[in-house]
Amino acid sequence: MAPIRAVRNISLTPNFGGEVMTVSLRCGKLPPEHLMPVRASPIATAGRFDGDVVVLQANAHVGFQSMIDYIMCTATHYLERLNQWLRETCPASDLAIGVHAAAATPSPDSRRFPPSALRQIFRCMRARP
């Protein structure tokens, strides 16, 4: 089982472009508010489901088919938005391949770069032959 922070951090990576669809049971241990930060996801107040958050235990769903229909409808709108993205081809040498981390655990040495500097390092990295 993945920790909540790991799932949250994966969902915030640039690979998703800020477009994440969440399907939630709204159980007591993992409501969507805990999984996705409010600033990163359009999670509405309890009992409502807006945007790309599908809450299966919402009162609006009557039966399993209603849940599946809502998931498919939300996914269709989500895919329409994703298909509007501009895609361009570029050589592999222009792609950033990763950022070297100083340590797996936080240490004073690994905190010497502010996040803005790490973003700049990531942008400047190039794949090497």
Q: What is the pLDDT of residues 23-32, one digit of tens each?
A: 877 777 777 7
Q: How confident is the model at residue 115 (pLDDT cuts 50, 70, 90)?
A: low
Per-residue pLDDT at 125 = 43
Per-residue pLDDT at 42 = 44
19 pLDDT more than 70: yes
Span 37-64, average pLDDT: 60
The Cα 117–Cα 78 span in angstroms is 33
User: For the whole model, what pTM was predicted?
Assistant: 0.50
17 pLDDT more than 70: no
Q: What is the CA radius of gyration of the chain?
A: 19
48 pLDDT more than 50: no
User: Residue 12 has which token pair?
Assistant: 């915030």
